[in-house]
Every structure is written in structure tokens, then in C-alpha cells.
Structure 1
Amino acid sequence: MSFRKRNVGISDGRRPQPTVPVASTPVRLPGVRPSAADGRPVTSTGSASFDGLFAGHGGLPLGTSILLEESGTTDYAGALLRFYAAEGLMQGHYIHVVGLPEQWGRELPGLASESSKKSVETPHDDKMKIAWRYERLGQHGTDMAARDRTPVAATDMVSVQSGPQQTPFCHTFDLSKRLVHPPTAQVKFLRPDPNPTKTCFASILSELTSVVKSTTPDTIHRFIVPSLMSPALYPLHSSMPEQILSFQHSIRKLLAAYPNRLTLIQTLPLSLYPRSSGLTKWVELLSDGVYELTPFPHSADAEFAKSRDPNTKEEPPQGLLRVHKLPILHDLGSGTPLADTDWTFTLSRRKFTIKPFNLPPIEGDTDAQQAAPKDDQPKKAEMDF
């Protein structure tokens, strides 16, 4: 009686052929690199500090839509749209702009000079003293801006433009200059249909879909929708729920059809459509990321100007940036949540920066600080490692 081990298949005597692994060539796309969180392709918004507010991805993930809400009569969100469009032109992306005239494309910020780049990249005594190898990690703000502008290694799944020098992932722009469009720049300005009997966004969606289908698979498209439902740019019937919600659903369908080729940033004036309205809540639900810009009143600007150090060169913050929704890309979650911090933004004559919000010291509290025993305070030599 013969015995054999159980759970062992009976072989036919032939040796299995060894499988040769197929070398997968990474797809290199212009202005795209893998996410620091999960490796999915991300692109830059043109602002290094804004790139740090996308759930740890280090940029805007492809196939996602971002909603920028702004209260008041200011146009800080419009500056972010200009950086977004300028970065796309420098990376060779296809830009689609809705509702704005062609003059807007000639007013995009130009590239910053080397001197202004150094002023942004050089921190003010901000190095970490725990370990030298962590200095490149940096913090949110100037250190991260310098890190994101370094050229990416050739081994990464990132595309660089052909040439002797690699194109940086995020350029440094200067709002006081005007961008010289590259010879291969592709910008299309789309106009909504003013006919009240038709859907005003139908022609925009059909033209956008046809352009995406006709271009090559390595072409990245950036879709810009400024001041959504504003009567200054769109017809009055664009704010009807059946019009705007159909447009948002169609955009999500298009992003799902081309997840690695299309991104969208749109702005919404909260002075016309507050967050308490049902229409605004639906637009937020249909967006992957929601950020709100709340400018400070003029009285607050004066208080910040008085409380800041006169020796510092940094300008006081001009408003709060609230993060209402992060681009979580699937049910299990993708990316790391932001720290429970308030953020401020500053729009200077040259740049747009986002930093953590720190309250100035309270006036009249110097007596309490001086009355505290000095022995309890750690010395500088004890704090250094």
C-alpha cells in the first residue's frame, strides 16, 4: 500500500516554464510626480505652500476637483488661479478657462528672479537641531517651498521636459511680472451659452470632452472655473439648481473617465452664495477638496501691523484659510489629515504664502512674564542638542 503526502498535487512530469517578468516602463508626464502618501500622480498648483494642504500628497492629485470659497469682495482666490494656470503653461499642460476674456491669460505672473527665489527659500534660523538628516523635511512654509522646487530624480515616476536641465516640479512666480508664454502654450477660453432655453454649460462640457479625447495620452489638462454662478461672468440662469448640479455631476464623470489627465480648480463667492444655502452644500459635496478664504477686516490688519516685530521683513497675514474637506481618494482613505491648526494667507506684491496662524502676544502681559522666576526657564545651552 503506497502512501503520499496530502495536499500535494499530482504532477504530469513536465517541468513548468519559468515566467519572465515584464519590465514595466514608468509613464513620464510633464509636471507630474508620485505622491508622497500613496504614490499616485500629483501636479503642482504653482504655490508650494498651497501644495502642502492636500492631505500629505505634496501636490494636487490628478483626477480631483478643488473648490475655493471666498467671502467679501476681495479676489485672493483669483491669485491662486493665476498661479495654477501659470504653472500649467510652464509644464506644457493644456489650460481651459471658463468665462474670462483672453486678456486674463496675458496677466499671469512671470517667473521670479534668482534674488527673489533666495529670499523665499532662505529660512530665518529655522533649522532643526535634532538631526541634520531631517533638515530637508522642513515645516510648512518657506522650507517646504525650497524642498518642492528642487529637481526630481530621474528614477522617480515624474516627467520632465526634454532638455539639458530638468524642469522643477513647482516654479517660483512673481506677481509683479508678466509671464512670457512658451511657444507650445495651449490656452482655450470657453464661454457659457447665454441662451436661457439651453444649458449654459453644455457647450463648455462638449468642447472640453472633445479636446481631451483628441489630445495624446501624455497631455495634462487644467480646468479653471472662476467665480462660479457669479452674474458678472455667467448668465442668470446658470445659478438654477438643475443647471449647476448637472454641470458638477458632468465634471465628476469626466474626472472619473480621465483620472490621470485632468484637474479642476473652481472658485465660489460666498457673499452671493453662503455656505448655509443648500446649493452651496451640494457643490461642496461634489468637490474633492473645499478651502475657504476669509479676509481679515482692516482693523485687524492694523492690529497685526502694530504687534509684529519691526525688524522682520515678513508681511502680516491678510486672512484665514479654513480647510473644510480634503481630497480623500477612496473609501479606505488616502493621505494623512492635516494638523488641527488654523492657517493664514498673505498676498504680497510678489507672492502668495500660506502659514500656520500664530496669535500675537497679549498687550500688558509683560509684567507677568518678568515676575516669573528665571531659574525655571531653560537655558539655551540646555535646549541645544
Structure 2
Amino acid sequence: MSFRKAKGNEDNKPIPGTRYQTQSQLNITSTGCLSFDEVMGGGIPVGAMILVEEDRLTDYSKTLQSLFESQGVSHGQELLVIKPGLNSKIELSLPESVSEEKKKRVEKPKPENNQPRQDYSDRRATGDSMKIAWRYNSLQKIRGPGLLAELKEDPDNKYCNSFDITKTIGKDGLDAAKIDTIDVFKLSIEAEKDGQSVYGAIYGKIASFIERQQEQNAIVRISIHSIGSLFWGQDNGDKELLVFLHSLRGLLRKSNRAVCMLSLPVSLYKDTGSEQRQTIVRRIEHQCDAVVELESFEGAECGELAILKTQKTRNVISNQSNEYHGFFHIHKNFSLNSMFPIADKTSLLKSEGSGGSENNLAFKLKKKKFSIETYHLPIEGGTSERRVPDSASSGSNSSATGVPNRLTTKLSQRQSNLSQSVTDF
């Protein structure tokens, strides 16, 4: 009996701008932020939808969403931006990708013999043996641990680009990009004339947009801004929003070529104080594959941030305000084709410790980039208060502040104890 080897589909080529995730057996694409990809398990799975809950007084979510849009432009992917008041793609403010020339490090000076410098790995590759630590010749080259080190090993920026948030893509770049826009204001007026809700009209636009790009071997990105806000109309209730999200999620699964990121002003639903509104927020989160929240330190009135604003921790706030800009909460993570989120096993930033609890995450807006890091508190009291005072200034400091020095207090106690013992004798 003869057997014939099964041939794979030659037309099934890898999709540009994606990586294959072995844990979920799905293709994933980048969010535009390397640290964001790391905490989400490597990126956004194709056919998934992620919800970004906006902060009350800041627009950090717009920065995160603009990185998602710029990543699609850098990969040459089709992009659909749905935003209130957006007339054309020229009005978009997208971060510019850092060129390869700027990313190259300055070359180190060569030795005097004009021979190129060889690292330890280069010497091992050429077969040169080590003279002193000869036992390490048989060891393999160790790569950096974790998913973040794996994502950084992308010299050609085929998966995740580096963006400069201080610079935006010019008019020529936006004209050449494959971007379609939808103005919610204009579409709501047209839908009202036809007797249709704005969510139903937008769903039809998204379905036709995905259908046009279905034949191409490329990823389609959909970015929806401030869904459920007053800009979408007061007549559109929460029921229409839930139906829209449920239908959109099924459409993304069926296409298997599209990813979606949408933002929600969750403060509009929580400020009413009604249990019904809070339940609606949970239902909205349930319709999405992943949910993250940006909680900035600015304008916080309750919760953990209010505790940080107390008089006792004023020094902590002054130090933390220069380092972090707010908390980054992950309420729900991607778990497609898996019983648990992949990021729980692959992410080092949010990995569980020995006690079984996850690390607290915080985001910071640096000079040129947006990053997510593990949140930690500074040294209690700061570095200036922990310094040992000089002998000359110890007396002046104790008299000025009204707080005696620790060394002076201990000496006085010892003298009093000694005098008391002599008296008793």
C-alpha cells in the first residue's frame, strides 16, 4: 500500500505584518506599542476586538489608538477610522515611524590595529577558544528572557515599528496611505432621514469595507473613537450599542482578516451612580475580546489615586508624577482558542509572583514614545530625607525643624540612665 505526502496550500502565504502564535494557533498583529503587545500576549489576534476605556479628563487613549492606526499605515494595511467630526484622512494626527538611520547606534571606535571588534558570540562563531573561562565554550548563546525580548528581535520592523509621538505623518504620507474615514455626525443625519440608527448604518459601512478587502492577503484595521458618547446621538440607546458590538464581533470572526480597536468614555456610564448603568458597562466589556483601562493620576477623586493625594504621601506623588502618568488596568485579556489568557504565561510585565498576584501596571508618556511598565513606589521619604546630616548642620536642623536628632536623643538617654545608676549605687 502506497502513501502520498499531503501537500500544503501554496496560496496560503503568511500575511504581512503578522506573526504566528503557537499557543493559540492564530495570527496576531501589533498594536503599535511594543510594551502593549507584551502585556497582551504578543499583540491582537486576527479577528479580535479590543476595547480601550477612556480616562475622565485626559486623552491618553487617543495616543494609544493613534499608534494602532500608524502601525497599520506602516504595514501598508487598509485602515478604516470612524470618528465624530472627521471629514477626511488629512485631518488625522498619526505618529511618524522612526527611520532606520535614526535607530542605528553610533559605531564604536575601532582598535589601533584597525581590526573590527569581536564580541563573545562572534568569537564563538568563528571558532576562537577562550583563554581563561574555557569552561564556557560549550554553552549556547542565551537570548533575553520573555516575550518582550523576542519582539525586540525585529531589525526590519516587519511586525512592530517604533514611532515618534512628537512628529506626525505629513500630508503626502497620508495621501499615499490606504485610509478610509467615516464622520459620525454626517452619518447620523443620513441615518435619521432613512429611519435607521447610526449603529446600523456604521455596521453596514464596516461590512462593505471588509468585503472589498477580503480577496487581498492583508489585514484590515478598524478604529472607532468614543463609541457610545453624546457625539453619537442621544436617541441611540444602550440596546443598539450592545447589538452593534455583538454583530461586529461576529463579523470580525467570520472575515478572519480584520482587527478592531474602539474607545469608550466609561465615565459617562459610571458617574450616574445607577446600578443599571454599571451593569451596561459590564455587558459592553463582555462583548469585547479584551478590555483595558487608562486611569491617569490627573483629576482622580476616589479609589487608590485619592489615597495618593493625601497629605502623608505628598512626597510620593511628587516623585511619581515625574515617572508615571497613571495606572494601566487589564480587565480582560485575549483568550481565543485557549482556556486562559496567553499573556498569563508569556508576559513578564504582568507575570504572577510567588503569592499568586499580578503586578500592577502603569503607563508613562515619555518624550518621544508611549510605554507600559511595572508600577512600583519610590523609597519611602525620598532620598533627601534618608541622608545622614552633617555634624555642623545637625544642631541647626534640629532647632529649625523642632525635631531632635536621633543620635542626640540616644546620647541623652544613655547619660540619664548612667546618672540614675550612679545615684542608686
> Which of 246, 250, 254 is equivalent to 1:249?
246
Number of the residue aligned with 2:34: 48
Q: Does 1:344 align with 2:362?
A: yes
Contact 2:252 2:259 in 1 (8 A): yes
Structure 1 residues 336, 86: CA separation in 2 closer, same or farther (over 3 Å shift)?
closer
- The amino acid across from 1:47 in the alignment is C
- The amino acid across from 1:291 in the alignment is V
Number of the residue aligned with 1:329: 336
**3-state SS, counterpart of residue 361 of structure 1:** coil
Number of the residue aligned with 2:181: 189
Structure 1 residues 104, 357: CA separation in 2 closer, same or farther (over 3 Å shift)?
farther
Number of the residue aligned with 1:359: 377
Aligned-residue offset at 1:296: 0.8
Structure 1 residues 343, 45: CA separation in 2 closer, same or farther (over 3 Å shift)?
same
Structure 1 residues 20, 79: CA separation in 2 closer, same or farther (over 3 Å shift)?
same
Distance 1:304 1:175 in 2: 28
Within 5 Å, give how 1:1-385 maps onto structure 2.
16-25=1-10, 26-35=12-21, 37-54=23-40, 56=41, 58-100=42-84, 101=86, 102=88, 106-113=92-99, 117=103, 133-137=141-145, 146-147=152-153, 149-151=154-156, 167-180=157-170, 181=173, 185-192=177-184, 193-194=188-189, 195-196=191-192, 197-215=195-213, 216-231=215-230, 233-238=231-236, 240-259=237-256, 261-274=257-270, 277-297=278-298, 303=315, 306-307=318-319, 316-330=323-337, 332-333=339-340, 335-337=342-344, 338-339=350-351, 340-363=358-381, 366=386
Aligned-residue offset at 1:24: 4.0
Q: CA RMSD in A?
A: 3.2
Contact 1:37 1:336 in 2 (8 A): no
Contact 1:317 1:345 in 2 (8 A): yes
Structure 1 residues 218, 113: CA separation in 2 closer, same or farther (over 3 Å shift)?
closer
Contact 2:15 2:217 in 1 (8 A): yes
Q: Which of 1 and 2 has greater Rg?
A: 2
Give the stretch that moved more between structures: 100-109 or 86-95: 100-109
Structure 1 residues 132, 342: CA separation in 2 closer, same or farther (over 3 Å shift)?
farther
Deviations, residues 214-251 of structure 1 (Å, cap 9, x unaligned): 222413111111111112x311223x122101111110
Distance 2:286 2:163 in 1: 32
Structure 1 residues 145, 79: CA separation in 2 closer, same or farther (over 3 Å shift)?
farther
- The amino acid across from 1:221 in the alignment is V
Unaligned runs of 5+ in 2: 106-135, 300-307, 345-349, 352-357, 389-405, 407-425
Distance 1:230 1:330 in 2: 32
Deviations, residues 91-112 of structure 1 (Å, cap 9, x unaligned): 1111111124136754111122
Structure 1 residues 354, 28: CA separation in 2 closer, same or farther (over 3 Å shift)?
same
- The amino acid across from 2:244 in the alignment is F
- The amino acid across from 2:17 in the alignment is G
Contact 1:200 1:243 in 2 (8 A): no
Structure 1 residues 320, 118: CA separation in 2 closer, same or farther (over 3 Å shift)?
farther
Structure 1 residues 50, 144: CA separation in 2 closer, same or farther (over 3 Å shift)?
farther
Number of the residue aligned with 1:311: none
Aligned-residue identity in percent: 24
Give the stretch that moved more between structures: 90-99 or 296-305: 296-305
Normalising by structure 1, we get a TM-score of 0.73
Aligned-residue offset at 1:291: 0.6
Distance 1:59 1:198 in 2: 35
Structure 1 residues 38, 252: CA separation in 2 closer, same or farther (over 3 Å shift)?
closer
Aligned-residue offset at 1:21: 2.4
Structure showing the higher helix proportion among its residues: 2
Normalising by structure 2, we get a TM-score of 0.66
Give the number of aligned pairs. 316
Contact 1:88 1:94 in 2 (8 A): yes
